[in-house]
Amino acid sequence: EAQVTQNPRYLITVTGKKLTVTCSQNMNHEYMSWYRQDPGLGLRQIYYSMNVEVTDKGDVPEGYKVSRKEKRNFPLILESPSPNQTSLYFCASSLAGAGGEQYFGPGTRLTVT
Amino acid sequence: DAKTTQPPSMDCAEGRAANLPCNHSTISGNEYVYWYRQIHSQGPQYIIHGLKNNETNEMASLIITEDRKSSTLILPHATLRDTAVYYCIVRVPDGNDMRFGAGTRLTVKP
Protein backbone atom coordinates (compact mmCIF):
# COMPACT_ATOMS: atom_id res chain seq x y z
CA GLU A 1 0.00 0.00 0.00
CA ALA A 2 1.33 3.41 -0.99
CA GLN A 3 1.80 5.45 2.13
CA VAL A 4 3.72 7.98 4.15
CA THR A 5 4.51 6.88 7.68
CA GLN A 6 5.56 9.00 10.63
CA ASN A 7 6.91 8.02 14.00
CA PRO A 8 6.13 8.61 16.72
CA ARG A 9 2.49 9.56 16.38
CA TYR A 10 2.41 11.19 19.80
CA LEU A 11 5.29 12.56 21.83
CA ILE A 12 5.51 14.52 25.05
CA THR A 13 8.97 15.82 25.86
CA VAL A 14 10.74 18.48 27.86
CA THR A 15 12.43 21.66 26.76
CA GLY A 16 15.91 21.14 25.38
CA LYS A 17 15.80 17.38 24.92
CA LYS A 18 16.76 16.59 21.33
CA LEU A 19 14.25 14.59 19.36
CA THR A 20 13.74 13.22 15.87
CA VAL A 21 10.47 12.59 14.09
CA THR A 22 10.89 10.09 11.30
CA CYS A 23 9.11 10.15 7.97
CA SER A 24 9.24 7.43 5.36
CA GLN A 25 7.47 6.92 2.05
CA ASN A 26 7.31 3.82 -0.15
CA MET A 27 6.31 5.50 -3.42
CA ASN A 28 9.79 6.41 -4.71
CA HIS A 29 8.85 10.08 -4.56
CA GLU A 30 11.55 12.67 -5.14
CA TYR A 31 9.86 15.46 -3.23
CA MET A 32 9.26 15.44 0.52
CA SER A 33 8.20 18.14 2.91
CA TRP A 34 7.41 18.89 6.54
CA TYR A 35 4.53 21.04 7.80
CA ARG A 36 3.32 22.11 11.17
CA GLN A 37 -0.29 22.89 11.95
CA ASP A 38 -1.38 25.22 14.71
CA PRO A 39 -4.85 26.50 15.61
CA GLY A 40 -5.59 29.73 13.81
CA LEU A 41 -2.39 29.53 11.75
CA GLY A 42 -3.20 26.61 9.51
CA LEU A 43 -0.58 24.44 7.83
CA ARG A 44 2.84 26.00 7.40
CA GLN A 45 5.80 24.50 5.61
CA ILE A 46 8.97 23.95 7.65
CA TYR A 47 11.43 22.36 5.22
CA TYR A 48 11.29 20.59 1.92
CA SER A 49 13.52 18.37 -0.17
CA MET A 50 13.48 18.12 -3.95
CA ASN A 51 15.64 14.98 -3.92
CA VAL A 52 18.40 13.15 -2.05
CA GLU A 53 20.87 15.56 -0.45
CA VAL A 54 18.81 18.56 -1.58
CA THR A 55 16.91 20.39 1.15
CA ASP A 56 15.66 23.92 1.57
CA LYS A 57 13.82 26.09 4.06
CA GLY A 58 10.11 26.61 4.00
CA ASP A 59 8.21 29.37 5.73
CA VAL A 60 8.99 28.47 9.36
CA PRO A 61 12.38 26.66 9.52
CA GLU A 62 13.72 28.18 12.76
CA GLY A 63 14.46 25.58 15.40
CA TYR A 64 14.34 22.62 13.00
CA LYS A 65 16.79 20.60 10.96
CA VAL A 66 16.24 17.98 8.30
CA SER A 67 18.32 15.55 6.30
CA ARG A 68 17.72 13.56 3.13
CA LYS A 69 20.30 10.82 2.88
CA GLU A 70 17.96 8.34 1.26
CA LYS A 71 15.07 8.89 -1.08
CA ARG A 72 12.49 7.28 1.16
CA ASN A 73 13.36 8.98 4.47
CA PHE A 74 13.13 12.60 5.55
CA PRO A 75 13.57 12.97 9.32
CA LEU A 76 12.72 16.17 11.18
CA ILE A 77 15.15 17.02 13.96
CA LEU A 78 14.52 19.35 16.87
CA GLU A 79 17.93 19.92 18.46
CA SER A 80 16.61 21.86 21.44
CA PRO A 81 12.82 21.79 21.49
CA SER A 82 10.93 24.67 23.04
CA PRO A 83 7.27 24.97 24.09
CA ASN A 84 6.48 27.05 20.98
CA GLN A 85 7.23 23.96 18.91
CA THR A 86 4.27 22.19 20.44
CA SER A 87 2.25 21.43 17.35
CA LEU A 88 0.82 18.84 14.99
CA TYR A 89 3.41 17.88 12.37
CA PHE A 90 2.81 16.39 8.95
CA CYS A 91 5.21 14.92 6.47
CA ALA A 92 4.27 14.81 2.79
CA SER A 93 5.71 13.46 -0.42
CA SER A 94 5.01 13.74 -4.13
CA LEU A 95 6.42 12.55 -7.42
CA ALA A 96 7.56 15.75 -9.07
CA GLY A 97 8.09 18.84 -7.00
CA ALA A 98 5.19 20.00 -4.92
CA GLY A 99 3.02 20.25 -7.99
CA GLY A 100 2.19 16.62 -8.09
CA GLU A 101 -0.43 15.20 -5.85
CA GLN A 102 0.98 15.32 -2.33
CA TYR A 103 0.53 12.39 -0.02
CA PHE A 104 0.46 13.27 3.65
CA GLY A 105 1.40 11.18 6.63
CA PRO A 106 -0.95 10.64 9.59
CA GLY A 107 0.65 13.36 11.68
CA THR A 108 2.75 13.57 14.84
CA ARG A 109 1.36 15.42 17.80
CA LEU A 110 4.25 16.90 19.76
CA THR A 111 4.00 18.53 23.15
CA VAL A 112 7.03 20.28 24.62
CA THR A 113 6.75 21.19 28.29
CA ASP B 1 -0.23 34.60 2.02
CA ALA B 2 -2.87 32.29 0.61
CA LYS B 3 -4.07 33.51 -2.75
CA THR B 4 -7.57 32.21 -2.28
CA THR B 5 -10.74 33.18 -0.44
CA GLN B 6 -13.14 30.57 0.85
CA PRO B 7 -16.19 30.78 3.12
CA PRO B 8 -15.24 29.66 6.62
CA SER B 9 -18.04 27.12 6.92
CA MET B 10 -20.85 25.44 5.05
CA ASP B 11 -23.50 22.84 5.78
CA CYS B 12 -24.85 20.22 3.42
CA ALA B 13 -27.54 17.58 3.76
CA GLU B 14 -26.44 14.00 3.39
CA GLY B 15 -27.04 12.73 -0.13
CA ARG B 16 -27.17 16.19 -1.63
CA ALA B 17 -24.48 17.85 -3.70
CA ALA B 18 -21.99 19.97 -1.81
CA ASN B 19 -20.76 22.99 -3.76
CA LEU B 20 -17.70 24.63 -2.25
CA PRO B 21 -16.69 27.97 -3.79
CA CYS B 22 -13.23 29.47 -4.02
CA ASN B 23 -12.19 32.90 -5.23
CA HIS B 24 -8.74 33.33 -6.73
CA SER B 25 -8.97 36.63 -8.57
CA THR B 26 -5.18 37.11 -8.79
CA ILE B 27 -4.44 33.72 -10.30
CA SER B 28 -1.68 33.73 -12.90
CA GLY B 29 -1.88 32.06 -16.27
CA ASN B 30 0.36 29.17 -15.28
CA GLU B 31 -1.16 28.52 -11.87
CA TYR B 32 -3.36 25.52 -11.25
CA VAL B 33 -6.21 25.21 -8.77
CA TYR B 34 -5.78 22.37 -6.27
CA TRP B 35 -8.23 21.06 -3.72
CA TYR B 36 -7.34 19.11 -0.60
CA ARG B 37 -9.37 18.17 2.42
CA GLN B 38 -8.52 17.38 6.01
CA ILE B 39 -10.74 15.16 8.09
CA HIS B 40 -10.44 16.04 11.76
CA SER B 41 -6.69 16.04 12.51
CA GLN B 42 -5.67 13.55 9.86
CA GLY B 43 -3.19 14.40 7.13
CA PRO B 44 -4.63 16.42 4.25
CA GLN B 45 -5.91 14.38 1.33
CA TYR B 46 -5.63 15.39 -2.31
CA ILE B 47 -8.95 15.66 -4.11
CA ILE B 48 -8.50 17.16 -7.56
CA HIS B 49 -6.73 19.86 -9.52
CA GLY B 50 -7.17 21.74 -12.80
CA LEU B 51 -5.89 24.56 -14.96
CA LYS B 52 -8.84 25.88 -16.93
CA ASN B 53 -10.95 22.97 -18.05
CA ASN B 54 -13.46 21.35 -15.78
CA GLU B 55 -12.18 18.19 -14.19
CA THR B 56 -13.86 15.15 -12.70
CA ASN B 57 -12.57 12.15 -10.84
CA GLU B 58 -14.02 9.52 -8.57
CA MET B 59 -14.14 11.90 -5.64
CA ALA B 60 -15.35 15.20 -7.04
CA SER B 61 -15.76 17.63 -9.90
CA LEU B 62 -13.94 20.91 -10.30
CA ILE B 63 -15.59 23.73 -12.20
CA ILE B 64 -13.34 26.66 -13.10
CA THR B 65 -14.88 29.84 -14.48
CA GLU B 66 -13.83 30.99 -17.91
CA ASP B 67 -11.89 33.93 -16.50
CA ARG B 68 -10.31 31.53 -13.94
CA LYS B 69 -10.95 33.93 -11.10
CA SER B 70 -13.07 31.46 -9.20
CA SER B 71 -13.84 27.78 -9.00
CA THR B 72 -16.25 25.38 -7.35
CA LEU B 73 -15.57 21.96 -5.94
CA ILE B 74 -18.59 19.69 -6.22
CA LEU B 75 -19.11 16.58 -4.13
CA PRO B 76 -22.04 15.08 -6.00
CA HIS B 77 -23.57 13.01 -3.20
CA ALA B 78 -22.17 14.13 0.12
CA THR B 79 -21.92 11.60 2.94
CA LEU B 80 -21.24 12.07 6.62
CA ARG B 81 -17.65 11.00 5.96
CA ASP B 82 -17.18 14.05 3.74
CA THR B 83 -17.33 16.29 6.82
CA ALA B 84 -13.92 17.97 6.73
CA VAL B 85 -12.02 21.19 6.12
CA TYR B 86 -11.61 21.77 2.38
CA TYR B 87 -8.67 23.77 1.12
CA CYS B 88 -8.43 25.52 -2.22
CA ILE B 89 -4.85 26.28 -3.28
CA VAL B 90 -3.49 27.98 -6.37
CA ARG B 91 0.09 27.34 -7.43
CA VAL B 92 2.38 26.49 -10.30
CA PRO B 93 2.92 22.73 -10.65
CA ASP B 94 6.72 22.86 -10.59
CA GLY B 95 6.99 25.29 -7.72
CA ASN B 96 7.59 24.37 -4.15
CA ASP B 97 5.05 26.38 -2.28
CA MET B 98 1.89 24.74 -1.04
CA ARG B 99 0.21 27.43 1.02
CA PHE B 100 -2.87 26.33 2.86
CA GLY B 101 -5.32 29.00 3.88
CA ALA B 102 -8.04 28.60 6.48
CA GLY B 103 -10.24 26.52 4.18
CA THR B 104 -13.97 25.82 4.40
CA ARG B 105 -15.30 23.62 7.15
CA LEU B 106 -17.98 21.48 5.51
CA THR B 107 -20.44 19.75 7.81
CA VAL B 108 -22.62 17.10 6.24
CA LYS B 109 -25.77 16.59 8.26
CA PRO B 110 -28.09 13.59 8.31
The 3-class SS string of B43-98 reads: CCEEEEEECCCCEECCCCEEEECCCCCEEEEEECCCCHHHCEEEEEEEECCCCCCC
Cα angle, residue B29 at apex, residues B26 and B32 outer, rounded to 5°: 85
d(CA A77, CA A55) in angstroms, rounded, equals 13
pLDDT tens figures, A19-40? 999 999 999 999 999 999 999 8
pLDDT at A97: 62
CB B50 within 8 A of CB B33: yes
Burial class (CB in 10 A: 0-12, 13-18, 19+), A48: buried
Say whether A85 sits in a helix, a strand or coil.
helix
| Mean pLDDT of the B8-14 span | 97
Indicate if the pLDDT at residue B33 is higher than 60.
yes
> How distant, in Å, are the alpha carbons of A5, A72, A97, B54, B91 from that of A100?
19, 17, 6, 18, 11
Q: Does B103 touch chain A (CB under 8 A)?
A: yes
pLDDT at B98: 78
Q: How far is A18 from chain B (nearest CA, A)?
A: 25
pLDDT at A98: 57
User: Mean of the per-residue pLDDT values for chain B?
Assistant: 93
Q: How far is B66 from chain A (nearest CA, A)?
A: 22
| Mean pLDDT of the B40-44 span | 92
pLDDT band at A42 (very low <50, low <70, confident <90, very high): confident
pLDDT at A99: 64
Q: Does B42 touch chain A (CB under 8 A)?
A: yes
pLDDT at A2: 85
Q: Does A32 touch chain B (CB under 8 A)?
A: no
Which of A35, A38, A102, A109 is the best substitution to test chain B (most B C-beta atoms within 10 A)? A102
Instruction: Encode B86-110: b = buried (16+ Cβ within 10 Å), e = exposed.
Output: bbbbbbeeeebebbbbbbbbbebee
Nearest to B95 among A58, A99, A102 (CB): A99
Q: Does A27 touch chain B (CB under 8 A)?
A: no
Chain B residues inside the 8 Å CB shell of A58: 96
d(CA A5, CA B40) in angstroms, rounded, equals 18
Residue B3: beta bridge partners? none
pLDDT tens figures, B55-105? 999 999 999 999 999 999 999 999 999 999 999 999 887 767 778 888 999
Chain B residues inside the 8 Å CB shell of A103: 46
Indicate if the pLDDT at residue A71 is higher than 80.
yes
